Structure 1
Amino acid sequence: MDLNGLIKVVDEVDELESDVSFVRILWVTHSGQHRCRAIPRKRFYDVVAKNGVGLAFVSMVMTSFLDRPPSGCSVGLVGEARVTPDLSTIRTIPWSKQDEMVLGDLNVKPGQAWEHCPRDALRRVSKILKDEFDLVVNAGFENEFFLLKSITREEEEEWIPFDSSPYGCSSAFDVASPILREIASALHSIGIPVEQLHTETGKGQFEVVLGHTVCTKATDNLVYTRETVRAIARKHGLLATFLPKYILDEVGSGCHVHLSLWQNGQNVFMASDESSKYGISTLGEEFMAGVLHHLSSILSFVAPLPISYERLQPTTWGSYLLWGNENRSAPLRASSPPGTPNGLVSNFEFKPFDGVANPYLGLSAIIAAGIDGLRRHLSLPEPVDTCPNLKNLQRLPKSLSESLEALDKADFLVEFFGDKLLTAIKEIQKAEIDQYSENKDAYKQLIHRY
């Protein structure tokens, strides 16, 4: 065979491989579910990379329990958006190396975002913060999840923890180390830094702590992390779930996020010297005060299902309106990790966030609240640095219904999200409330969705 013949064969093999290799375009619905379209690699790079793929409007407003929109939803069956791949996010899939994955934006036409695009919502809010205050939010997520195994009892499948070891137990880490090591390696291969891995309080519960970075990238990293954890768990015959409560008598899983403010490459959430009252800069205090002030109003963005509120209980933490210095019972915790100068605070931890929230919408709501705090120069109340007297504290919404009532009063959010997106979110959450009030055990099936 001459050289030209060899080149032809190689080209034919490459074309054949591209036909059986796929690029998955990923997006996250308003109800926090990951969805994808798989495109043959050649077609993706020839056509879809530029033009995207069609997506029915209604696909974004499907509920957690059924692939249908809420009854009477303002987003109907007519109309189509385009899922346009953000090529800066394309990665080789670590557990399926012949394939790639990429995150998608939702556009109505090239270059024009659809008002329901969660990634664009976060970009819009971040731009307001940058334009008005020259500030950037950095974020780092802590991902708690359960690893479950399937057993059959009386001919019915049941999912139980794959291990029963307590918090921080090294033997539990030994049992799970093949999975955790593969997760960490996979995340490293796609540029996502892992800061810690450890066993959590629940049976079969673990946590992956991601490094902090600019908030738009941090949320992208979170989506890829969830994809990675679930896929590698399946590879090992297990099911990984980020559901805030998969059974009521077990501890819950959160998705705590650490937030800081940056300007010209410097952390300006932290005070410049120890003379600050709380070790937090004026900018940092006003931003955090806005988040605390609006916490009830934005709670349904970060805890969007009725089952979310089974985690936010007085017997755990994060259920009363307060902040504290290293206070684990507070929904907002001022944090001074090792290496922070004495008396100063480098970031604050926001604890109500959970693993069923759309991370782009959740983080957008937090930043919007912080912007309002900066605009109004809000001040933090005194921190609660002891075990609090709950009688003297305001309870956060105890249910999604109460959170939705608070959201209805949060007129300041219209500027950041727009009427159409806010209306759709409320419609979805009302449907969630109705579904789970009528079907008390329906949440148990959500381990297969989250």
Structure 2
Amino acid sequence: MPSLPKTAEEALKFLKDNKIKWVDLQFTDLPGRLHHITVPASEFTEDSFKTGFGKLDGSSIKGFTMIYESDMVLMPIPQTMAVIPWNEGIARVITQVFWGGGKGRFERDPRHIAEEAEKKQSEEGYISYFGPELEFFIFDKVDLDVATPQSGTGYKIHAREAPWARNGGFLIRYKEGYYPAPPVDQLMDIRVEAINILTDYFGFNIEATHHEVATAGQGEIDFRFSTLADTADKVQTLKYVVKNVAAKHGMIATFMPKPMFGDNGTGMHTHFSLWTKDGKNLMYDPNDEYAELSQIGRYIVGGILEHGRALSAIVSPTTNSYRRLIPGYEAPVYLVWSKSNRSAAIRIPSYYRGMEKAKRLEYRPPDPSCNPYLAFAAILMAALDGIKKKIEPGDPVDENVYHMSEERKKQLKIKELPRSLDEALDELESDNEFLKPVFNSSILNTYIDLKRDEAKTMQQYPHPMELYYYLDA
């Protein structure tokens, strides 16, 4: 296993020791997709870590720049340098995006927002930790027909475990995918190959991997929590590795929230805790009988719930996200909190008592189609706003909200998450002051415009099921 570098000097030695010929400069666009430019390793010097690589045409990247201001610089982050094991002689490094011409940091670089959020919390004496649980599907292939949308669109999923596969072997019934042992779980080898690569080459501390609840190859990988920007880097790296390992086997991995009807979608439940710089967990109170949650912890919960509808536009950022956020599929719909209720938007895990280091909240609405740099920064800012304004979350709800009457929900003043991307964007437009200490107006406006356009485009296409229901109208 290559020892990962921490400094520019160590990164240069890393390239030499591992006989690296080419380096992938990786960065993330505004919607959250990973991009890369490959350069010769010989171009890396001590100076290149200070001046960066003037290789990027920002006008070609979604959410970046216009054609008349397109020259941009990629600044490598030494501690993200790692060997790409499926490409001999190639390494990758995550980069920061700068304006060309010495004009400073590019304000719409998503990683810049994550770094600004870390700077903000540091000024207030805090440090936050994030631990996302990434779910995904691994399909054998997907037949996608969108070449001529005027005459119709459609898709077909091929998945060896699925009830419709007819492969003559084992299958996984709908909603019965939790933890079946091989050979019923037919994708364990791919998941294990991915976590071995993440551990051996990218420095991950993997906590678990398993088959998820849905049929058709749904899996999950959990890694140990870390600081905000580092965790976002790890999310992008995990998606990159899982997709490439699946592709090596002739399969396709997708982090799309809801690729199929009738079974659970794909979430990214995100664990969050806030600490002092000297190592005190601000969310822990051993004298709290309900969940050992401190008063500051309650304010944090209150802030995230208060801004939960606006957060949806960032943590559940696609039109497809709202096909996941429906009752009956273990996805949250209601802005309530609880100790163990998985129908709640926020859960306070309570596996153990008396463990300060374990006290945290689990925010369940996010899905892995989000931009993790923006999502984690937004969650942090909602939490800090809750502390600043002392926002109470109300009483916990330990009932199954899905089974509540409308009268009972009104009695408890339970708010719902938005039901569409457009509705979420409306909320973000009206509730974004809590983000402004970190999210500049340029990135907020550009993000909303991009997502409005995405939603508008999707609304123009007839859905295949509309023909089923309305062809005889």
What TM-score, normalized to structure 1?
0.85
Distance 2:287 2:270 in 1: 25
Change (3 A) 1:182 1:86: same
Output the CA distance in 1 between the equivalents of 2:46 and 2:118: 33
| CA distance in 2: counterparts of 1:108 and 1:343, whole angstroms | 43
| Counterpart code for 1:163 | E
Distance 1:346 1:440, change over 3 A: farther
The match for 2:226 is 213
1:23-38 superposed matches below 5 A: 23-38=23-38
Aligned to 1:126: 118
Say if 2:239 is the partner of 1:226.
yes
Determine which of 256, 271, 285 is the counterpart of 1:243. Answer: 256
Instruction: Confirm whether residue 397 of structure 1 aligns to residue 383 of structure 2.
Output: no
* Residue 174 (structure 1) shift: 5.0
Deviation at 1:214, TM superposition (A): 1.4
Which whole-Å deviations, capped at 9, do the CAs of 1:68-102 have from their partners, x for residues lacking one? x9xxxxx4222132221111211111332421111
Residue 197 (structure 1) aligns with = 209
CA distance in 1, matches of 2:103, 2:349: 39
Name the residue aligned to 1:56. 57
- Pick closer, same or farther for the CA change 1:160–1:45 going to 2, 3 Å: farther
Other-structure match for 1:439: 461
Aligned mates of 2:142, 2:112 — CA distance in 1: 42
Contact 2:276-2:282 within 8 A present in 1 as well: no
**CA separation in 2, counterparts of 1:342 and 1:358?**
31
Task: Report the CA distance between 1:177 and its aligned residue.
Answer: 2.5
- Does the 8 Å contact 1:268/1:283 carry over to 2? no
| Residue 189 (structure 2) pairs with residue 178 (structure 1) | yes
Aligned equivalent of 1:409:
430
Deviates more, 1:243-252 or 1:274-283: 274-283
**Which deviates further from its counterpart, 239-248 or 383-392?**
383-392
Distance 1:408 1:168, change over 3 A: same
> CA RMSD for the aligned pairs?
2.7
The whole-number CA distance in structure 2 between the counterparts of 1:153 and 1:418 is 38
Q: Any stretches of 5+ residues in structure 2 without a counterpart?
A: 1-14, 146-153, 163-171, 465-473
User: C-alpha separation between the residues in 2 aligned to 1:172 and 1:435?
Assistant: 42
Number of aligned positions between the proteins:
413
What amino acid does structure 2 have at the position aligned with 1:120?
H
Deviation digits for residues 389-425 of structure 1 (CA, Å, limit 9, x no counterpart): 2621222110001001001112412332111110100
Aligned to 2:160: 162
User: Contact between 1:92 and 1:100, CA under 8 Å: does it hold in 2?
Assistant: yes
> Does residue 108 of structure 1 match 2:99?
yes
Q: Aligned pair 1:274/2:287, yes or no?
A: yes
Q: Counterpart of 1:263?
A: 276
Contact 1:144 1:205 in 2 (8 A): yes
Greater RCO, CA 8 A, separation 6+:
1
How far apart are the structure 2 equivalents of 1:402 and 1:333? 24
Could you list the per-position Cα deviations for residues 357-398 of structure 1 after superposition, in whole angstroms to 9, with x for gaps in the alignment?
110001111111111111111112101112122621222110
Letter in 1 for 2:326: Q
Match of 1:332, SS state, is strand
- Equivalent residue in structure 2 for 1:78, among 68, 80, 85: 68
Say yes or no: does 1:331 pair with 2:345: yes
The separation in 2 between residues aligned to 1:346 and 1:295, in whole angstroms, is 21
Classify 1:402/1:86 alpha carbon distance in 2 versus 1 (closer, same or farther; 3 Å).
same
| Residue 267 to residue 179, structure 1, CA distance change in 2 (3 Å) | farther
Matches of 1:344 and 1:278, distance apart in 2:
14
What CA distance in whole angstroms lies between the structure 2 residues aligned with 1:157 and 1:297?
32
Contact 2:299 2:387 in 1 (8 A): yes
What is the match of residue 187 of structure 1?
Answer: 198
Instruction: Tell me the SS of whatever aligns to 1:335.
Output: coil
Residues in 1 aligned to 2:263 and 2:225: alpha-carbon distance in whole angstroms:
29
Deviations 1:165-190 (A, max 9, x none): 22211125752232122111111112
8 Å CA contact retained: 1:27, 1:34:
yes
Mark the CA change 1:394 to 1:104 in structure 2 (over 3 Å): closer, same or farther.
same
Question: For residue 446 of structure 1, what is the aligned residue in structure 2?
Answer: none
**Stretch deviating more after TM superposition (42-51 or 258-267):** 42-51
Aligned CA distance change for structure 1 residues 83 and 327 (closer, same or farther; 3 Å):
same
Quick one: distance in 1 between partners of 2:143 and 2:314?
Answer: 36
Which residue of the partner structure matches residue 300 of structure 2?
287
The amino acid of 1:77's aligned partner reads I
- 1:272–1:281 Cα contact (<8 Å) kept: yes
Aligned counterparts of 1:130 and 1:390: Cα–Cα separation in 2: 44
Residue 408 of structure 1 aligns to which amino acid in structure 2?
Answer: E
The one-letter code of the counterpart of 2:27 is: W
In the alignment, the residues of structure 2 paired with residue 297 and residue 34 of structure 1 have an alpha-carbon distance, to the nearest angstrom, of 25
Residue from 346, 349, 361 that aligns with 2:359: 346
Change (3 A) 1:168 1:106: same
| Cα distance, 1:341–1:421 mapped onto 2, change above 3 Å | same
Question: 1:148 and 2:139 equivalent?
Answer: yes
Shift of 1:280: 1.2
Give distance in 2, aligned partners of 1:215 and 1:418.
18
Give how far 1:162 is off: 3.2
1:244 deviates by: 0.3
> Are the aligned partners of 1:324 and 1:330 in contact in 2 as well (CA < 8 Å)?
yes
Could you tell me how far apart the structure 2 residues matched to 1:52 and 1:390 are?
A: 59
Answer yes or no: is the 8 Å Cα contact 1:333–1:349 preserved in 2.
yes
Deviation track 1:301-340 (CA, whole Å, cap 9, x = no partner) reads 11111111000112232111111111111111111234x4
3-state SS of paired residue (2:437):
helix
Q: Deviations over 1:95-124 (max 9, x none)?
A: 324211111111125693111011111111
Give the whole-Å Cα distance in 2 for the aligned partners of 1:302 and 1:280: 24
Give secondary structure in 1 for the equivalent of 2:68: coil
Q: Structure 1 pair 246/45, CA: closer, same or farther in 2 (3 Å)?
A: farther
Does structure 1 retain, via aligned residues, the 8 Å contact 2:185–2:211?
A: no
Distance across 2 between alignment mates of 1:253 and 1:175: 19
